[in-house]
Amino acid sequence: MNALRADDLPLAYNAVDILERNLPLRADKTALHSDTRSMSFGEVSAEVNQVTNGLRALGVRFGETVAILCLDTPEFVSAFFGTMKTGAVAASFNTLLKPADYRYALDDCRARVLFVDARLLGSIAPIRNEVRWLEHVIVVGGDGAGDGVSDGVGSGVAGGLDYGAFVAQQPAEADVTPTHRDDFCCLNYSSGTTGEAKGILHAHKDLPLTAHNWGLMTLGLREDDRTFAAAKLFFTFGTGGNLVFPWYVGASVTLFAGPPRDPRALLGVIARHRPTVFYNAPTGYGMLLSLEDLTTANDLSSLRLCVSAGEALPAPIWHAWKARTGLGIVDGIGSTENYHIFVSNRPDDIRPGSSGKPVPGYEVRIVDEVGDGVPDGEIGNLLVRGETAALFYLHQSAKSRTTFLGEWLFTGDKYRRDGDGYYWHEGRSDDMLKVGGIWVSPVEVESALLSHDAVLEVAVVGVPDANDLVKPKAYVVVHAHAAADDDLAAALIAYCRDVIAEYKRPRWIVFVDELPKTATGKIQRFRLRDREPEIDA
């Protein structure tokens, strides 16, 4: 099988094809399973057409942005494909953030329409009247148009539509907007070291290319598979792995609106829906392994493939999972910038602890600080070249120029290649942390702590936990009036849960008299990382 190239696709290509290619052969096959409703490809397609018509009725045009702040539900899927079919750009928002984060993202992406799950309305209501471009809010799972909706969000503004009513008014057939394969179809936000999140746009072509080159050729998805991801649809790890790739091959997906990190809840989904393919981040596998009755009280026999991404999967977790379940885990490194995984193990070719080898359609290089290739065994910066790379960060030209280097993309990851051609992750070249597979900026956690009146100075670094997975740790210098004790440490962690997304909170607080600094007064995080064992001892 050859890698799929952009040139293999017609110029007029709309990624709604990923769904609609199933209609001639399997319109009645179940496309998605969920705890609320299961739907066939034909039923999803009809609802997607209703969303397309509904968006057109609201005046949504080609190229505009439609934001989606939804849990993993059938409505997320209809909003996503309906937006693309309209020729608009589907901006999927992380559901774990705070109102101020949504204010920034809504203004940055200029969404005129927002689909929001009723359970997340509380994060939108406080900023609803502060955002500039948003005109229509469509509430999924509310109690109907007019009530609940307009009380919380729509008061005094246009919008506040009930999703059920929004689709019910529309016919179930719609023409596809004839987008170019290079037109943008989706937008995801990724955190940066400093400042605000970076919007990353992908083109229609990127969905079939990643589906073919990783989903089909590398992972080996099959029509009779049923996928399930702990990673949510708002990450491209989730959208690709648990929606786009399985549908590309005619397989079904399992959607779960509940929490991604509760291992018992995930096991419940596996028991109810019997998936064959399971995606999770290393932290998630670690949490499942912490259950003593993982394999005695739970039936995992439906699974044939397990995938890990988001952060490096430590070899001990790989071996423990293999020993307990009999299954290997396919670890691969992906990024929002590339849409999905570009270096990956194969189900029949896994070197535990490594990220595997390049995926068809991608080339990688490991280079030193001046851009020369380094020999095998030496650590350098990972560059990747492939057709699914984004072109820029929205509204961030300076940052774009240091990441998107012509054909090559600077990943920010340190890698080494072994003599057999497997790639090994060796950390980051910036201070960014991957915590449970999600970006955390130490600078953002530091700013949150600094806004607490007991804190004079702070530095946040990533420290490995017992599973060798990185978690944020804060070194804090307190004001003279504050008592640096366990109560304050607990209070600071609780404070962080309130002011920033909960998953960003420090897991440990260490009080120190001073922080290591450069002559110019800049805090040296790397020295804290290096001094870490002796400070803790």
Binding footprint of ligand 3UK on the chain (CB under 6 A): 190, 235-237, 309-312, 331-336, 340-341, 355, 411-413, 425, 428, 434, 437, 439
The residue among 14 and 280 lying less far from ligand 3UK, judged by its C-beta, is 280
Q: How far apart are CA 336 and CA 237, in angstroms?
A: 8
Query: What is the smallest separation between the CB atom of 381 and ligand 3UK, expressed in angstroms?
Result: 11
Our CB check for ligand 3UK shows the closer of 49 and 381 to be: 381
Give Cα separations from 213 to 12, 183, 242, 362, 507 (angstroms).
21, 20, 16, 9, 38
Are residues 325 and 299 in contact, defined by beta-carbon separation less than 8 angstroms? no
| Closer residue to ligand 3UK (CB): 26 or 428 | 428
Please identify the residue of the shown chain whose CB is closest to the bound ligand 3UK: 334
Q: Quote the least distance from Cβ 521 to ligand 3UK, whole Å.
A: 29
With respect to ligand 3UK, which residue has the nearer C-beta, 330 or 500?
330
The smaller minimum CB distance to ligand 3UK, of residues 314 and 506, is found at: 314
Q: How far is the CB of 210 from ligand 3UK (least distance, A)?
A: 9
Residue by residue, DSSP assigns 307-367 as EE-SS---HHHHHHHHHHHS---EEEEE-TTTSSEEEE-BTTB--TTS-BEEPTTEEEEEE
For ligand 3UK, give the closer residue by CB, 65 or 336.
336
Q: How many angstroms separate the CA atoms of 1 and 4, rounded?
A: 9
Reduced to 3 states, what is the DSSP secondary structure of residue 210? helix
Number of Cα atoms under 13 Å in the Cβ half of residue 178: 3
Least Å distance, CB 240 to ligand 3UK, is: 6
Burial call 422-450: b when 16+ CB within 10 Å, e when fewer? bbbbbebeebbbbbbbbbbbbbbbbebbe
Residue 96 or 477 with smaller CB distance to ligand 3UK: 96
- Tell me the closest approach of the beta carbon of residue 237 to ligand 3UK, in angstroms: 4
Nearer to ligand 3UK, 85 or 340 (CB): 340
Q: Radius of gyration of the chain from Cα atoms?
A: 23
Q: Least CB distance from residue 365 to ligand 3UK, whole Å?
A: 15
- For the bound state, the minimum distance from the C-beta of residue 191 to ligand 3UK, rounded and expressed in Å, comes to 8
Specify the DSSP class assigned to residue 12.
Answer: B
**Residue 122: CB partners within 8 Å, gap ≥ 6?**
152
Q: How far apart are CA 278 and CA 512, in angstroms?
A: 43
CB of 412 to ligand 3UK, least distance (A): 6
Tell me, letter by letter, the H, E, C secondary structure of 400-437: HHHHEECCEEEEEEEEEECCCCCEEEEEECCCCEEECC
> Measured from the CB of residue 159, what is the shortest distance to ligand 3UK in angstroms?
30
Longest alpha-carbon distance in the chain = 72
> DSSP readout, 89-138?
EEEEPPTT--HHHHHHHHHHHT-SEEEEEGGGHHHHGGGTTT-SS--EEE
183 vs 413, beta carbon nearer ligand 3UK: 413
Minimum CB separation from ligand 3UK for residue 341, in Å?
Answer: 5
Residue bearing tokens 């600078």: 443
Q: How far is CA 534 from CA 318, 471, 512, 529, in A?
A: 30, 18, 13, 10
Which CB, 161 or 382, lies closer to ligand 3UK? Answer: 382
